[in-house]
Amino acid sequence: MNSIDACHVDVHHTLKGTPFLTEPGVVLLSRPEMLSDELATFLAGFDASLEFNDYLSDPVTLSPADALAKTAGQTCYASFGPKRTWNENAGRYFQNIKSSGHGSVLEHATFSMLFYGVSRSLTHELVRHRAGTAMSQISQRYVDGRVLRFVERPEFQSHPGLHTLFMSRIDRAAGEYEDLADLLEVVHRESLEGFKRTERRKIVNQAARASLPNEVEAPIVFSGNCRAWRHMLEARGSAHAEPEIRALFHKVLRILQSQAPMIFSDYRLEPNEQGVDEVATEFRKV
Ligand SMILES: Cc1cc2nc3c(=O)[nH]c(=O)nc-3n(C[C@H](O)[C@H](O)[C@H](O)COP(=O)(O)OP(=O)(O)OC[C@H]3O[C@@H](n4cnc5c(N)ncnc54)[C@H](O)[C@@H]3O)c2cc1C
């Protein structure tokens, strides 16, 4: 499978020029790298009769994330010699890892992604995931109205009336935010004197953001190890998840399956009884 590094989406504008997006965009920012030369030095330190040196001359190459997790797992039993599971049989190796719930070896491989075109209500759900994750989200205190964009939910896109309401609502929200920020500047003018520009902006923005709706865009950099990504794919890619976050995780799945085919090989998108595509696997929560 070709490696997928991003799923970009377009930015649209209302007639008044308010920017909005209609689906999540995903940018892969970082992925694992295997430094095999250094591993070779470690392997060379064992008795030659063990033939550990051959570990790195496996004719089948795995993706760096898969190779890292497999090497981590094989370190547990010093499985570096000729009787180890070779990369050709990596599928079976990862099947065993998943079916035995030995998911800790998957924690070594970490991917970082930038999500955009995602609403504040989506990220409010996303940031509930703690284990094995790190996140940095746009600050509504430090960032002002010039980067304000909105996200249109799928339900609003498919209905002319709801779409028209969305457009007028975000025009109004952008306008009200600007008016509020301008008035806050005036109200606080005296008390803001002497503050640096960034500090003044923070004092104004942290009050002005009270008027922003849940459908404001909230770009976020989200890092997770592969065990955490698996858990989130199952929780957020399921039919129980709400449509916006589910759409995001279906894209995350495409990217991760291209980057770490072995770790994510068991996942497939399957329609449930209501015809909603959901992430399915026989190895839940490894
Ligand atoms: C469809 C859906 C509906 C939801 N509805 C609501 C709702 O109505 N209200 C609401 O408040 N939340 C809701 N949530 C959020 C949910 O309750 C979790 O907070 C969120 O999904 C994070 O998942 P997690 O708890 O598995 O944590 P993660 O941080 O993703 O942790 C992964 C796993 O690590 C283990 N773990 C993590 N932290 C601990 C810990 N402190 N102690 C022991 N084990 C730990 C658990 O096994 C956990 O499943 C919903 C989630 C989904 C997917």
Q: What is the pLDDT of residue 200?
A: 86
Query: What's the pLDDT band for 82 if we cut at 50, 70, 90?
Result: very high
Dist. CA 140 → ligand 1 center (Å): 25
Nearest atom in ligand 1 to the alpha carbon of residue 125 is 15
Q: How far apart are CA 13 and CA 142, in angstroms?
A: 24
Q: What is the DSSP letter of 117?
A: S
Dist. CA 118 → ligand 1 center (Å): 20
Angle between helices 226-236 and 243-259 (to 10 degrees): 140
pLDDT in tens, 229-242: 999 999 999 999 99
HSE-CB at 165 with a 13 A cutoff on CA atoms is 10
Mean pLDDT over 187-201 rounds to 86
Nearest atom in ligand 1 to the alpha carbon of residue 133 is 29
pLDDT in tens, 235-278: 999 999 999 999 999 999 999 999 999 999 999 999 999 999 99
Would the pTM of this model clear 0.75, i.e. be above it?
yes
Ligand 1 site residues, Cβ closer than 6 angstroms: 128-131, 231, 235-236, 240-241
Q: How far apart are CA 169 and CA 175, in angstroms?
A: 10
Nearest atom in ligand 1 to the alpha carbon of residue 130 is 29
Which residue among 127, 128, 135 has the greatest number of ligand 1 atoms within 8 angstroms of its CB, and so is best to mutate? 128
Handedness of CA 156, 161, 167, 173 (dihedral sign): negative
Dist. CA 41 → ligand 1 center (Å): 42
70 in helix, strand or coil?
Answer: helix
